[in-house]
Structure 1
């Protein structure tokens, strides 16, 4: 099923063929530099299963993204129910991860804008958040470009103390 289309992207259901590319992206040190670690093939398969479950349970989730012109899988963009222990959870988070070969083309911004429009107009969301490590300037720039506003910084409870990724920024946008 195709959920959204932009002029250049299709945000769609995942296919079995996507998993190999997803695993390669999750194992790439550069693509994962703002995460605590890369993911093994087994961890990627578990993540994939969680994505599929959330799509089935909620009717929304992290959508596979392909470039329409080439039909190439480039990553994911979409929504996730964030439930870790924090004063702003549970909440609906918008997120993205694209393989490094797709960076610098505006795909994250384009896809995230389409997701927000879909979330507010079709799914009935009233507020969406996004968060990342304070040092992740590329994702923070996307958050700003899609109209999100900074709310606060926080210590992410799932990141080890002493990690340069511990301090996170929280952004939000309301309908």
Structure 2
């Protein structure tokens, strides 16, 4: 099902046909450089099913994003219920991951802005957060471009405190 679109992008449910490109994206070391590791095919399949299950359980989730000009699956943008131990969780997170061929075209910013606009009428979110490793400047710039405000830095509880990915930044868009 197509939920909404922008001038260049379609936001739809994930489909089984997305799995090969989804797997390729998640095993790309450049795409995953701000994550603890790349994902195996099995881990990506599990992630795929978790996305589908989140939609069923909560009525929102991560959208598969497709280019309108050529029908290419380029990744995901959307919402996720973050539940790890922190003073701001559980919360609604807006996040994105695009394959590297889609980088540099403004798709993440365009898509995240469209998701926020869609959420205004489709969902009753009180607050929307986004977070990333402090060293992930590209994602932090997207957070700033879509109107989120930096709240604080925090150590991600699921990461080794000695990891360069442990220190995170937290942004929020509050109603």
Task: State the TM-score, normalized to the length of structure 2.
Answer: 0.98
Shift of 1:50: 0.3
The 2-side partners of 1:23 and 1:151 are apart by: 33
Q: Secondary structure at the match of 2:95?
A: strand
Q: Report runs of 4+ in structure 1 exceeding 4 Å deviation.
A: none
**Number of the residue aligned with 1:155:** 155
Structure 1: 5+ residue stretches without partners: none
CA displacement 1:54-102 (0-9 Å, x = unmatched): 0111111011000011000000000000000000000000000000000
2:137 matches 1:137: yes
- Name the count of aligned residue pairs: 175
The 1-side partners of 2:121 and 2:168 are apart by: 29
What CA RMSD, in Å, does the superposition of the two structures yield over aligned residues?
0.7
Aligned residues of 1:120 and 1:126 also touching (Cα < 8 A): no
2:77 matches 1:77: yes
Shift of 1:118: 1.3
Task: State the TM-score, normalized to the length of structure 1.
Answer: 0.98
Structure 2: 5+ residue stretches without partners: none
2:46 matches 1:46: yes
Q: Secondary structure at the match of 2:36?
A: coil
**Number of the residue aligned with 1:173:** 173
